[in-house]
Structure 1
């Protein structure tokens, strides 16, 4: 069982990742830090509260994360991909009410599960960077590993020609995590672009009411899939970047990594958010505490089969 503290900004992909984590028998979600990113922070919190209510998991604390990047820039949102409320055509009911706990709950959770907890960060890295700044390395050393969805190594970006959305959205925070974090596993566009779920997979999942999320999965996926078709008509489905990151945590045997010390450009020019590492043949000879693990390939069939199995779970 993987005890997971999830940092996210739902968003359709994040929402599917939350469903996947809650339904996965290998995952114990111990807290969700909800921040700005795909949608404003308050909407992201509302979306998390709605999903937890559907799952009957009001026991999982929601922690209010960051509202904007460390740089002080104005956050950019993506309603054309995620919808105005972040769940495509679905609007969470106004009746959803949940207590949101203070940021220091992060450290209480880490201490409760010391050395047996994983952080999965599938949004902008601002909140996790703040946790580093407030808690210091002493607190974060109690985390076994950090799984970060972000970056694009040796492939094009998705918000600029060079940079991926999460690292570009707060480059300072992303670079801090890669610099200060230990046992950081990065799932960049190199792999997540190929974590494609097809419409026929969704039909298979939603052909009958398997669980409390079944009625949501198809409408939000269809919205997301239509957006991706406009971006790249050649795609046969939609990449689930954030779902893949949790899949990578709980299925390590299905992922191939290279060990490199990675960083993110914090320059405010056309290189902002660019993920960098030394990929020369001899660059792996020396491994240090600062070495990161960059995913470069995976077993696609295993990913699809696992997603279908988990999403049809009655858990």
Structure 2
């Protein structure tokens, strides 16, 4: 089965690996990428997306300009110590990428209409753009989307940007709560599982030597930069978590992640800003069926590594 996927991303090293994974995976038909602020400013995010599509020979995939900042209007803090000054670690995208057409947000609705009831939105960045669609076009704006696969949140584990909050939810908690309340058929992939989706430097070295894809020159330097940042933050860690690959793999490998059904809300203000909230009691309060989300709580991490290697060792990258 092939899935039509519209990605929302903010590349970023792990976002970049997710985009590469989507381009290489024969089960994914990537029909567009929404690039906004997050790990880098919006303009750099768009440039990085264009660079990856150019490398893969997929300039036919539409790039849609995302938001420049959160709904609150707060200033955005970036993390060059994790992702590098330009989002790809030590790699600087060339200045000679020509004729990159960038669409506005209305293109999202065109793509959803084109693949009506046969399209998955995979969001691995901030949730500002998704929330804006509901704000601009109403609660039914994305009714023709089959499912939403989202990387975000943290349940019963520490956050990665505050004590309780994961970065995608923390940076725009208003948008995050809007999406969790208004979108339907959500599969959420929080830090509970993505923190454990580690790829080792040995695996990366092997792929750097053997991957037949045009992304091979990026694999080792981008990963090494990212891994060194994690080693500083988590001494002794045996690899780096590729958070943003998880929802894509969960889509194409349905037995990868185990979910539990709960309604998810996001704290919008105060000291717990960005905290993801769900009722984990054995008998949770009854909620409307349409408000129930699927929270990833466990995954097969050996399968994660094996599948990641298999996809990056494929040679049929230039699929259309």
Q: TM-score range by the shorter chain?
A: over 0.9
Alignment of 1:111-260 (within 5 A): 111-260=113-262
Could you tell me whether the CA contact under 8 Å between 1:17 and 1:242 is conserved in 2? yes
Question: How well do the aligned residues superpose, as a CA RMSD in angstroms?
Answer: 1.1
Tell whether the 8 Å contact from 1:260 to 1:284 is kept in structure 2 after alignment. Answer: no
CA distance in 2, matches of 1:257, 1:208: 34
- 1:234 is displaced (CA, Å) by 2.0
> Does structure 1 retain, via aligned residues, the 8 Å contact 2:6–2:30?
yes
Could you tell me which runs of 5 or more consecutive residues in structure 1 were left unpaired when the two chains were aligned: none
Per-residue deviation at 1:285? Answer: 6.4
Q: TM-score of the superposition, structure 1-length normalised? A: 0.98
SS of 2:138's partner is helix
Deviations 1:65-113 (A, max 9, x none): 0000000000111100000000000000011131101210000000000
Distance 1:301 1:172, change over 3 A: same
Deviation of 1:128 (Å): 0.8
Whole-angstrom distance in 2 between the partners of 1:286 and 1:264: 16
Q: Does residue 110 of structure 1 match 2:112?
A: yes
d(CA) in 1 for partners of 2:173 and 2:194? Answer: 19
Partners of 1:285 and 1:159 lie apart in 2 by 31
Secondary structure of 1:138's counterpart equals: coil
Q: 2:254 & 2:142 partners in 1: Cα distance? A: 22
- Identify the range of structure 1 (38-47 vs 252-261) with the bigger mean alpha-carbon deviation: 252-261
What is the aligned partner in structure 2 of residue 80 from structure 1? 81
For the structure 1 residues 287 and 295, does the alpha-carbon distance in structure 2 shift closer, same or farther, using more than 3 Å as the test?
A: farther
Provide closer, same or farther for how the CA distance between residues 284 and 259 of structure 1 changes in structure 2, counting only shifts above 3 A. Answer: farther
Structure 1 segments, 4+ long, off by >6 Å, are none
> How much has 1:220 moved relative to structure 2?
0.0
Maintained 8 Å contact 1:70/1:172: yes
Q: Post-superposition shift, 1:134? A: 2.1
C-alpha displacement of 1:138: 2.6
Partner of 1:26: 27
CA distance in 2, matches of 1:190, 1:252: 18
Counterpart-to-counterpart distance in 2, 1:62 and 1:174: 22
**C-alpha separation in 2, matches of 1:227 and 1:197:** 14
Q: Which residue of 1 aligns with 2:52?
A: 51
- Give the whole-Å Cα distance in 2 for the aligned partners of 1:312 and 1:52: 18
1:298 aligned partner: 299
Checking the alignment, whether the CA contact within 8 Å between 1:257 and 1:294 is kept in structure 2 is: yes
Q: Is residue 211–residue 314 contact of structure 2 (8 Å, CA) maintained in 1?
A: no
Three-state SS of the structure 1 residue aligned to 2:112 is helix
**Partners of 2:211 and 2:118 in 1: how far apart?**
34
Q: Counterpart of 1:38? A: 39
Tell me if the contact between 2:203 and 2:309 (Cα under 8 Å) persists in the aligned partners: yes
TM-score, with length taken from structure 2? 0.96
Do 1:110 and 1:139's aligned partners in 2 also have CA atoms closer than 8 Å?
no
